[in-house]
Every structure is written in structure tokens, then in C-alpha cells.
Structure 1
Amino acid sequence: MDAVDPLTTDWSEDSVALMHGLRDWSARFDELNRHLSSWTGLPTSDANALGQVVWADEAGEPLSPAQLSRQIGMTSGATTVLIDRLERSGHVTRHRESTDRRRVTLRPTPEARAANDRFLAFAGTEIATVLQTTSAEEARAARAFLTRITEAAAAANARLTERARTAR
């Protein structure tokens, strides 16, 4: 596929509306995260991290501290401090489940999972309804689009990271 110059391209009304929709979803998701923060009594960054840990554990793919650091956009040092806070407050535990005892994974505590479940039961009804009433065809198309747009954002982020690294 040929590269498209975002500044000189004539954008269709649908493309503009789609980008606005993605922006709006991002803003509403961020707002939900702030509500989770209030619900759990945690700082927003901690609630976001805890949510990432819970979702990864639910998927059967517990996060390492390095993976969490990448997902929440914090340095490894700042992430370590955040994990220490979550551990002290009884929200996460560190595990050495692998034969490689150096590999640490993060798991939510049963209490943290229960608090997250209470939040989702209260706040997730509308989103769950939309997901359950979306046709398989529509879900596949949306997932394919989200995969492509996420990969495009990842490529842009990698290019920006490399530029910042070489500019030093």
C-alpha cells in the first residue's frame, strides 16, 4: 500500500467521522478509567495498571512488569514504584510461575478482582449489551479495522521513538 500524506489527502466524510468516533471512544474509555479510580480509591494511573493486570489475567496471559510498563506508558522505574504501591495496598501479587525464576508475572488479588467485577457489573451493562447484540460479521469487520489502525499507530510510535533516540 502506498503511503498517504495526512496533510494533503482529501478525507471522506466517513473517514473523518470514523476518526472522531475513535477519539470519542478513547475519551469515554479514559473517563471510565477515572471512574474506576474513584470506585477503587486508587490514583488513576494505579487503577489503569490494575485494570491491565486484571484483563491480562482474565485472558490467561498474566503481564510481566515490563509488559505492564509498555502498556501504561511509564518507565520501568516508575512502573516498579506503582506495582509496589499496588502490592502494599493488597491489589496485586508478584508470581514466579515459570521455570525461569527471574520471570515475574503480576496477578490481581481476589479482593481486587471482586472490586473490579463489582465495577464492571455496575458500569459495563451498556457496553456488554452493544457487544452481545453486534452481529458476528460486524464484529469481525470492526476487529479487522481496529487491528489495522492499532498496527498503524504502533508503527508511527516506533518511528517517533526511533527519531527521539537518534536525536539525542
Structure 2
Amino acid sequence: MEAPIEQQVLELLREQGIEGERISQAFAARHGMHPTDMRALILIMDADRRGAPATPRALRQDLVLTSGAITAIVDRLEAKRHVQRSRESADRRQVQLRPTDSARSVAAEYFGALADRGREVLTEFDPAEIVVIHRFLHRMHAVMRDFDADGAGAAALADRGAGSAGR
């Protein structure tokens, strides 16, 4: 018996996450980067695309790492010429992180074909369907982002542990 479509959608979404992680790890390995450095670079590039530089503080929050770990990551990314630090705001203590042209070029070279294929797939849907897809993905992103923030993740793990302890 086939699983309900809702379950299939959630399973495909999980599989998509796994494939995305695999692709990111392959990129990181190809360029001599640690997967966490890759995640940091993605966050820095995403912030740049939104028109706002990333900061070490934002990386600490997003990656849930210590300030020392973030400094080491940024040092490695800077050594590979993927990121540059600057102090552009009125508060000269505030470090801003921007991707270099080299990082953009390397990312476009590797991920460009994937982005092209994604745009190609979107042409199979009419605009109203794309709006629904966008709304769903936006909501799922919020659910995943907030999963541990509200304690749901810890509570779910505790519930599972208590349920299996009596077996």
C-alpha cells in the first residue's frame, strides 16, 4: 500500500535535505574546506545576496558555535580567499564579512548547473502552483528553523527516550 501523499511529500523533503548536504560536502571536499566552513560561506553569500553583509555574531547564532570557532572558520575562509573582513559601519568594532569574487565564481561554476536545472523544473509548474510551492517551503523552513528554538526538539527526544525506556 502506498503511503499517503502528505507522508510522501515529507519524505521527499527529508531526502532533498540529505542530497543537499551531500552536494555541499562534495563541494567542500573538492575545495579543501570543512563542511562547517562551507555552511558559513553559504550564509555569508546568502546575506550578500540580500544586500547585507554577514557578521561573525550572525554566524555564531546561525551555526550555534563559539566565537573562537567562528574566528577559526573565518580565518580559514579568508586564507582561501573566499571571504574578506571589513569594518564599514560607524561602529568600527563591528566586523562585516563579504564573499570575494573568487568565492562567487567557484560557487557559480559548481552550483550553476544545479540552479539551471532547478529553474528548468519550475517551468513545469504554472505561476499559481509556484506560489503554493513557495508558501509550503517557506512554512517548512520556519518549522525547521524554530524546531529546537521552542524546545520541541528536546521535548520530542525526551518523549521518545521515555517511551523506549520501558520496553
Regarding TM over 0.5, the answer is yes
Alignment TM-score, normalising by the size of structure 2: 0.78
Q: Rate the CA distance shift 1:15–1:115 in 2: closer, same or farther, 3 A.
A: same
Whole-angstrom CA distance in 2 between matches of 1:160 and 1:17:
26
Specify which of 78, 89, 110 is matched with residue 80 of structure 2. Answer: 89
- In the alignment, what sits opposite 2:130? 139
Q: Is the 8 A contact 1:39 1:119 kept in 2?
A: no
> Between the two proteins, what is the percent identity of the paired residues?
30
State whether structure 2 residue 142 is matched by structure 1 residue 151: yes
Whole-angstrom CA distance in 2 between matches of 1:148 and 1:122:
27
Q: Rate the CA distance shift 1:114–1:154 in 2: closer, same or farther, 3 A.
A: closer
Aligned length: 153
Unpaired segments of 5 or more residues in structure 1? 1-11
SS at match of 1:159: coil
SS at match of 1:32: helix
Unpaired segments of 5 or more residues in structure 2? 156-167
One-letter amino acid of the structure 1 residue matched with residue 11 of structure 2 = H
Whole-angstrom CA distance in 2 between matches of 1:22 and 1:92:
31
Q: Is the 8 A contact 1:40 1:115 kept in 2?
A: no
- In the alignment, what sits opposite 1:36? 27
Q: Is the 8 A contact 1:40 1:47 kept in 2?
A: no
One-letter amino acid of the structure 2 residue matched with residue 42 of structure 1 = M
Displacement of 1:72: 2.9
Displacement of 1:80: 1.5
- In the alignment, what sits opposite 2:8? 17
Q: Rate the CA distance shift 1:14–1:133 in 2: closer, same or farther, 3 A.
A: closer
TM-align CA RMSD: 2.5
